[in-house]
């Protein structure tokens, strides 16, 4: 039980005060009766934050953690958005499946590689993560700075993402095997 008050005490005459156009506040806690579940919190980060040039083997990863209190939230649907000067550059789904950029299955850490073929420009790219389920949340992941354009970069040499859901059905009677997988986008 209690009342919370949020007050902006900004005073333009404050020396050295720096304001920004955005921000976020996360209030976490439990109800006094412990009957209410802890809130779900989304945090995100992009790594590395600075790249000299984009090469075929450059990897830039966005990570997001979805936690209820201290417990991981699994089976979420998350995606990352990459923007430059408020213009959409790319979107990519994040996974918690232990494949690709994700290191451990169902640990509440969702991750994905950013599409490097879209980042071969000398500029800043801002990255944010959105959770669509089981809760709706948005978190900034930070920015990636690419210092120089790589004029020799050939996007045709960038391999597509790895297939992560290969399934095999064998029919012993017909002596056949059927391979099933989700086609990955080839940049």
Tokens 């859901």, residue located = 165
For residue 48, whether the previous peptide bond is cis, meaning omega lies within 30 degrees of 0, is: yes
Q: How far apart (Å, rounded) are the C-alpha atoms in residues 122 and 144? A: 10
Q: Which residues contact 156 (CB under 8 A, 6 or more apart)?
A: none
pLDDT digits (tens, 9 = 90+) for 146-178: 999 999 998 888 777 677 778 899 999 999 999
- Structure tokens belonging to residue 170: 């064998």
Residues forming beta bridges with residue 128, ordered by sequence position? 81, 140
Q: Is the peptide bond before 175 cis (omega within 30 degrees of 0)?
A: no
Nearest Cα to Cα of residue 53 among 112, 101, 121, 115: 121
| Beta-carbon contacts of residue 145 (< 8 Å; ≥ 6 apart) | 49, 50, 51, 123, 124, 125
Structure tokens at 18: 């720096």
- State pTM to two decimals: 0.71
Which pLDDT does position 70 carry in this prediction? 87
Distance CA 46, CA 89 (A): 15
Domain-wise residue ranges, the chain: 40-154
- Spell out the CATH class of 40-154: mainly beta
Task: Kindly state the average pLDDT of the residues 45-61.
Answer: 95
Span 59-101, pLDDT tens digits: 999 999 999 988 999 999 999 999 999 899 999 999 998 888 8
């Amino acid at each position: 039980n209690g009342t919370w008050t949020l007050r902006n005490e900004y005073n333009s005459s404050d020396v050295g005060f720096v304001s920004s156009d955005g921000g976020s506040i996360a209030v976490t806690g439990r109800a006094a009766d412990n009957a209410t579940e802890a809130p779900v919190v989304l945090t995100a980060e992009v790594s590395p934050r600075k790249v000299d040039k984009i090469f075929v083997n450059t990897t830039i990863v966005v990570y997001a953690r979805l936690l209820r209190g201290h417990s991981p939230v699994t089976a979420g649907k998350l995606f990352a958005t990459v923007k430059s000067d408020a213009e959409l550059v790319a979107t990519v789904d994040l996974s918690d499946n232990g494949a690709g950029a994700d290191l451990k299955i169902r640990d509440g850490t969702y991750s994905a590689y950013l599409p490097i073929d879209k980042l071969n420009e000398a500029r800043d790219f801002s990255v944010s993560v959105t959770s669509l389920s089981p809760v709706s949340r948005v978190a900034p992941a930070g920015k990636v700075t690419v210092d120089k354009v790589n004029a020799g970069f050939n996007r045709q040499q960038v391999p597509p993402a790895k297939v992560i859901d290969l399934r095999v059905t064998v029919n012993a009677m017909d002596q056949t095997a059927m391979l099933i997988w989700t086609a990955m986008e080839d940049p």
